[in-house]
Amino acid sequence: MSRLGDAFERARRDRRAAFVGYLTAGDPSLEATLSLARALDRAGADVLELGVPFTDPIADGPVLQRAAARALDARVSLSDVFALGRRIRAKTRLALVLFSYLNPILRRGVLRAAAEARAAGFDAVLATDLPPEEGQDFARRFRAAGLDTVFLVSPTSPLERMRSAAALSSGFLYVVSRAGTTGARSTLASDLAATVARARRAAGSLPIAVGFGIATAASAKRVARIADGVVVGSALVSAAETAGADRARAVEKLASSLVAACRR
């Protein structure tokens, strides 16, 4: 079993949902991101999605758009993300997911990107704008390099499309909680339970993690009752953004409350 699979299995044995945090690499600097990753590890997070900054983040809301802009202003490249992954791998126990839009991976070359990601200590890759209909070759090449592949489904995905995404996924299947972009929300979608139930039919024994819009302990607790993993990104990035120099403490405090809420 991969490190990512181990993370979900360990959470299952502990009677909780795995906590998956997201950070944009290089926001506001590579050193700051390493500090935040260590804060997540101290808080008890299981998995870190490390985002590759991209110039056209169409799935992201304002918080993550600003994070990508700050990282790009700092001239953070995919090479920098891989180097940062090595440092996070050496300093934490977190399972690492390379979270990217497809373009940076294609520019690098899929085979080269897969080999470099594996060498850097990443455990999986998620290309947020790659549909399962076009993902077979991508998944095959990354799995051949020893990496899990994660695909996304949404409330509008019919059962057959979810089955296609699940067939290409290992580690977990990512369920987007609502239509639209990333960003903290005050409430969860009313049809989330139905979406997760449909995803379970498609995924079989593959773990399911839910993300987009989860920001509070209350919403994390609700999601943890129906999913195997709870994904939080914008709320963590926003906490770091507003805390300034005290960002690591702010992220650790928020993540600790969310991790606790994932217990069943």
Q: DSSP string of 114-139? A: HHHHHHHT--EEEETT--GGG-HHHH
Chain segment 169-218, per-residue pLDDT in tens: 999 999 998 766 565 566 778 889 999 999 999 999 999 999 998 999 99
Mean pLDDT of 160-170: 97
Query: Which CATH number belongs to the domain containing residue 50 in this structure?
Result: 3.20.20.70
* C-alpha span between 213 and 229 (Å, rounded): 14
Q: Is 9 considered catalytic here?
A: no
Q: How many domains is the chain partitioned into structurally?
A: 1
pLDDT tens-digit readout, 115-154: 999 999 999 999 999 999 999 999 999 999 999 999 999 9
Residue 60 known to be catalytic = yes
The torsion angles phi and psi of 142, rounded to 5 degrees, stand at -70, -35
Q: How far is residue 174's CA from residue 239's CA, in Å, rounded to a whole number?
A: 23
| CB-CB contact of 210 with 196 (8 Å) | yes
Phi first, then psi, for residue 147 (nearest 5°) are -110, 145
Q: Which of 27, 46, 60, 123 does the annotation list as catalytic?
A: 60
Catalytic residue among 27, 46, 49, 80: 49
User: Which residue range(s) make up the domain with 253?
Assistant: 3-261
Structure tokens at 201: 């039919």
Q: What is the rounded distance in angstroms from the CA atom of residue 209 to the CA atom of residue 17? A: 9
